[in-house]
Amino acid sequence: MEKKKTNKKFIIILVALVVLGGTYGTYKYLHSQSHEETDDAQIEKNMNPIIPRVSGYVDKVFIKDNDYVKKGDTLFTIDKRDYLLKIEEASAAVVGAEGSFAVSKADTGSALASISVSDANVQSAGGNIESAKIRLDRATNDYNRYDNLYKSRTITKQQYEQALAAKMEAESQVRVLQQQQRASSFQKSVIIAKSKVSDKQTEVAAANIKRAKAILDAAELNLSYTIITAAIDGQVSKIDIQPGQLVQPGQSLFYIINNKEAWVIANFKETQLNKMIIGQKVSVKVDAYPNYDFQGTVTSFSPATGSKFSLLPPDNATGNFVKTIQRLPVKISLNPTNDPEKIKLLRPGMNVDVDVHLD
């Protein structure tokens, strides 16, 4: 019986496959010793949210989906009529507060003038009292002499009564002047109290002016917020607003994407991090542009795994525990040596393959 002939072509193909497989396996093994790779990576860019600071109805929209804008360009405006009315109201409040301040200031000035007059009256009364006392002393002395002379029958009764009347008139004059002095002092104290009240009213009026001006400044600031401008150069996302639509403060309406700067967030398995350090070179391959290799550098490592930042982070203390390899986000900055025009073509969320050079 003849032996079956060996198929030489099959042997050659088998040997070639073994050689190629061994070569590829050896290459991958040697490559893995100095490289770490992952395809769980995406392009990231700064996405500036457009958020109004005041509420109102959209008046005009000046941009369309995917438009390019410059910093300071007007994106849309909010109906400003309500805010103009608030400015008029605040301006009127400022005028009223300034009028009240002027009146209080005038009252204070009048009170100070009245205090000066009262001081003069008190001082004048004091001088008059001193003069009256001198006249009283003289009248008293005259009366005492006339009283002795009358007792010795040296003078007439009429002369005695004249001396007594002069003394009593001088005493009465002193009492009247003293009462006038007390009245002037009391009036002065009343005026001083009114002056203090006027001072307080002036302080309150000044505070009201500051408050009214602050309200006016706030109204003018809110009016400026009715014009929404671009904070950066970039490309706008889909525009989801229309004229007449009500927007609220803090409501995120759309985004401006900064196309000048991009980086990569790569999620490496925790078992791949042993030899990775900041500063290592990285080769980046973008799925959308496979013919261009971007160069990057490991910039930083996330402080926690991606699962810890999820909406419902896993809790291994509950239920049955199954160990799963976790992934840690690693930021990779694209080097300035990359073509800027290529950087502009990148879009946040694009998938990329990264290769970290460990040596």
Residue 19 counted as domain residue: no
Neighbour-count burial of 264, counting CB atoms closer than 10 A to its CB (0-12 exposed, 13-18 middle, 19+ buried): buried
- Residue 179 and residue 283 share a domain: no
- Residue 147 and residue 184 share a domain: yes
Task: Find where tokens 């009036």 sit.
Answer: 187
Q: Which is more confident, 131 or 74?
A: 74
| Alpha helices (H) along the chain | 8-34, 81-151, 157-224, 340-345
Span 162-166, average pLDDT: 73
- Predicted pLDDT of residue 277: 93
Using a pLDDT cut of 70, give the percent of the chain over it. Answer: 75
Instruction: Extract the tokens encoding 249.
Output: 């403060």
Residue 190 belongs to domain with CATH number? 1.10.287.620
- Residue 219 and residue 120 share a domain: yes
> pLDDT digits over 12-38, tens only?
887 788 878 877 777 666 666 678 899
DSSP state of 270: G
- Predicted pLDDT of residue 346: 92
- Predicted pLDDT of residue 1: 45
Q: What share of the chain is helix, strand, coil (3-state, %, to 5)?
A: 50, 20, 30
- Residue 212 and residue 87 share a domain: yes
- Residue 344 and residue 217 share a domain: no
- Residue 185 and residue 113 share a domain: yes
Residue 295 counted as domain residue: yes
Residue 334 counted as domain residue: yes
Mean pLDDT for all residues in the chain: 82
pTM over 0.85: no
Residue 270 belongs to domain with CATH number? 2.40.30.170
- Predicted pLDDT of residue 190: 65
Residue 267 counted as domain residue: yes
> Does residue 316 have a pLDDT over 80?
no
- Residue 277 and residue 155 share a domain: no
Span 209-235, average pLDDT: 91
- Predicted pLDDT of residue 12: 81
CA separation for the pair 213, 93 (Å, rounded): 8
Highest-confidence range of 184-188, 191-195, 239-243, by mean pLDDT? 239-243
- Predicted pLDDT of residue 118: 60
Span 224-228, average pLDDT: 94
- Residue 306 and residue 204 share a domain: no
The torsion of the CA quartet 111, 112, 118, 119, rounded to 10 degrees, works out to 160
Residue 216 counted as domain residue: yes
Q: Count how many domains the chain has.
A: 3
Positive or negative torsion for Cα 186, 191, 194, 195:
negative
- Residue 157 and residue 113 share a domain: yes
Span 240-267, average pLDDT: 92
- For residue 107, give its domain range: 81-224
Sheet harboring 68-69: ordered strands across?
47-50, 254-257, 234-236, 68-69
Using a pLDDT cut of 90, give the percent of the chain over it. Answer: 42
Span of 11-15, 263-267, 291-295, 349-353 with lowest mean pLDDT: 11-15
CA 308: distance to chain centroid? 31
Task: Find where tokens 């990775």 sit.
Answer: 276
CA 11: distance to chain centroid? 79
Span 46-51, average pLDDT: 93
Span of 117-121, 221-225, 241-245, 345-349 with lowest mean pLDDT: 117-121
- Predicted pLDDT of residue 6: 57
3-state SS string for 111-162: HHHHHHHHHHHHHHHHHHHHHHHHHHHHHHHHHHHHHHHHHCCCCCHHHHHH
Return the amino acid letter for 166: A
Residue 31 counted as domain residue: no
Residue 137 counted as domain residue: yes
Residue 68 belongs to domain with CATH number? 2.40.50.100
- Residue 359 and residue 264 share a domain: yes
Please report which confidence band the pLDDT of residue 5 belongs to, taking 50, 70 and 90 as the band edges: low
Residue 4 counted as domain residue: no
Nearest residue to 166 via CA among 197, 195, 140: 140
- Residue 200 and residue 231 share a domain: no
- Residue 128 and residue 175 share a domain: yes
Span of 163-167, 247-251, 290-294 with lowest mean pLDDT: 163-167
How many CA atoms, within 13 angstroms, populate the side-chain half-sphere of residue 309? 8
